[in-house]
Amino acid sequence: MTCVKKKAEAKGFTSKPSTSCCPAGKLRGFTTRIIGDIPAATSEDVDIAVKAARKALKRNGGKDWATASGAHRAKYLRAIAAKITEKKPELAKLEAIDNGKPLDEAAWDIDDVAGCFEYNADLAEALDAKQNAPIDLPMDTFKCHVIREPIGVVGLITPWNYPMLMATWKIAPALAAGCAAILKPSELASVTCLELGEICREVGLPPGILNILTGLGPEAGAPLASHPDVDKIAFTGSSATGSKIMTAAAQNVKPVTLELGGKSPIVVFDDVDIDKAVEWTLFGCFWTNGQICSATSRLIVHESIAKEFLEKLVKWAKNIKISDPLEEGCRLGPVVSGGQYEKILKFVETAKSEGATISFGGKRPEHLKTGFFIEPTIISDVTTSMQIWREEVFGPVLCVKSFKTEEEAIELANDTHYGLGSAVISNDLDRCDRVTRAFEAGIVWVNCSQPCFSQAPWGGKKRSGFGRELGEWGLENYLSVKQVTRYISDDAWGCCGVGL
The residues annotated as belonging to the active site are 259
Minimal CA–CA distance to 93: which of 164, 156, 33?
Answer: 164
| 3-state SS class at 200 | helix
Distance CA 218, CA 224 (A): 10
Distance CA 279, CA 268 (A): 12
Distance CA 194, CA 35 (A): 15
Q: Which helix (H) or strand (E) holds 309?
A: helix 306-318
Distance CA 377, CA 348 (A): 8
Helix ranges (H only) for 62-206 are 70-86, 88-99, 103-130, 163-177, 191-202
Cβ-proximal residues to 154 (8 Å cutoff; 6+ apart), any chain = 170, 174, 179, 180, 181, 182, 230, 231, 232, 233, 234, 478
Distance CA 159, CA 6 (A): 19
What are the φ and ψ backbone dihedral angles of 75, each rounded to 5 degrees? -60, -40
